[in-house]
Amino acid sequence: MRRLLYLLPFLLFIGVGVAFYLGFQRDPRDIPSALIDKPAPTFDLPAIPGQPATGGLSSAKLTGDVTLVNVFASWCIPCKAEHPVITRLSREQGVTVFGINYKDKPEDALTWLARNGNPYAAIGADQDGRVSIDWGVYGVPESYLIDRQGRIRFKHVGPLTPKVVEEQLLPMVKHLRQG
């Protein structure tokens, strides 16, 4: 019995070590989404107050072509890092990108877009974050690939990188446009 008491801390240490090892094997961005292959949530967001004539964003705009919905905010540091990737997708790679501006002050969002460029075909202002909750947003940035029928086909948590775009997003866009 005494030996068992001496072995117990060692066995606990081994158990915790195995749990950590297995936990670090997972990619933290691989967050499952119950919305994959389901229709995008129904929503109708106004434009950012003072935004040029691109208008707001609604679920009605998400059908007819393969599109990307990017949830961003001016206060989000990773959003600034991914912005050149979003811009390249929109301007050079032929992907229509819509934006959901998450819990942002309108003047900050407009200043951010003026400074960094506006790659979005339309932007909806989600000032209270309720629409983003319907999308299952954990935090910004997050991006969702939408097929022609308005179904969510891919979700990426965190900033899009050139690697993710080249290896995952663009092949899926090509496949969805062929189908």
Amino acid identity for residue 20 in this structure:
F
Beta bridge partners of 69: 98, 144
Distance CA 66, CA 147 (A): 5
| DSSP category for residue 168 | I
pTM listed for this prediction: 0.82
Beta bridge partners of 143: 70, 156
Beta bridge partners of 98: 69, 122
pLDDT of the residue at 163: 97
- The answer regarding whether domain 34-178 maps to CATH 3.40.30.10 reads yes
| Per-domain boundaries in the chain | 34-178
pLDDT tens for the chain, 179 residues long, are: 777 677 777 767 777 766 666 666 654 545 556 789 999 999 999 999 988 767 899 999 999 999 999 999 999 999 999 999 999 999 999 999 999 999 999 999 999 999 999 999 999 999 999 999 999 998 999 999 999 999 999 999 999 999 999 999 999 999 999 97
